[in-house]
Amino acid sequence: MRAGRLSAVHVTVGYHEDFLGVVQNLQVWNRWFEECGDVIARAVTCDEIRAANAAGKTAILFGLQNPLAIGADIGRVEILAQLGIRFCQITYNQQSLLGAGCFEPHDSGLTPFGREVVNEMNRVGMVIDLSHAGHQTAMDVVAYSSRPVTVTHANPDAWHPAPRNLHHDLLQALAERGGMVGFSLYPHHLRGGSDCSLADFAEMALEMMQSYRAGMFGIGSDLCQDQPDSVVNWMRNGHWRKHPAPPVAFPDCPSWFGDNRDFPGLAPGLEAAGMTGAEVAGLLGGNWMRFWQEAFVKP
């Protein structure tokens, strides 16, 4: 991350973990902050991100890709925020108590409990993430939330149809309500998969910035670096299947983005597609910081 000059990274500390499982993951990170304190620092505010950068460190922000840690207890939203959780997804692929995931055969939308959680996340300054949510559930959240929301890692489905990628009307709704989208670099979300070229990705990004609102886009790499395939199977299956689905493997990364060290190489490709220096700077971090500056603060 330091070699890639990353200012801040949103790290997942909960997929199928319950509340205690998330706490245990946070304990692991606390040890890493002790052992690797020369290169990383915990952050929950934009000021702490800037302080980490001034000290030559990458700021680490925590998020949940699944609301299982909340359970059916609305009070846990504030507790999780107090533990440093800055982001939480409404669901992860399957149905949750809050809404439907993108792999559900029927999307019933945001639930009554989901509305309560959205209200509470708005109140405590936790960012609502719609990655992995079903389309109707995502549209409901954008319309219902009193604060702008985000899709941290996805691409437009008009460029590459995939269950996780985004319909035009959701992108339009996010643009109108001040939301954010992080362009994903995960091969399953890219046209051509692992063979997608940087030029194709950059052209897509520029077209989206011109079609919607340039300041609403950033990078949400969805990078899982140096992890065994057992990790992606945990992400997909957790413990909810009695008979696990066939094992899956991480796809090969595109040649131009293999790990964190390749982030600086995105800029020349984006500029070659026709982006200005200011647009590239916004896409590679400035837009996220502007969004977080408002989103992390209690109203």
Domain ranges for the chain: 8-295
| 179 vs 125: CA distance, rounded Å | 14
Computed from CA positions of residues 170, 175, 181, 187, in that sequence, does the dihedral angle turn out positive or negative?
Answer: positive
Tell me the average pLDDT of the chain: 96
pLDDT at 67 over 90: yes
Residue-level pLDDT at 240: 86
Six token digits for residue 148: 């702008």
The model's pTM:
0.96
pLDDT at 45 over 80: yes
Higher pLDDT, 202 or 229: 202
Between 5-14, 30-39, 55-64, 218-227, the lowest mean confidence (pLDDT) is in 218-227
Identify the bridge partners of residue 154 per DSSP, sorted by sequence position.
183
Residue-level pLDDT at 239: 86
Residue-level pLDDT at 216: 98
| 18 vs 143: CA distance, rounded Å | 28
Which of these, 147, 146, 137, lies nearest to 170 by C-alpha position?
A: 137
Residue-level pLDDT at 63: 98
Residue-level pLDDT at 245: 79
Query: Cβ distance 220 to 183 under 8 Å?
Result: yes
**Domain 8-295 CATH assignment equals 3.40.50.1100:** no
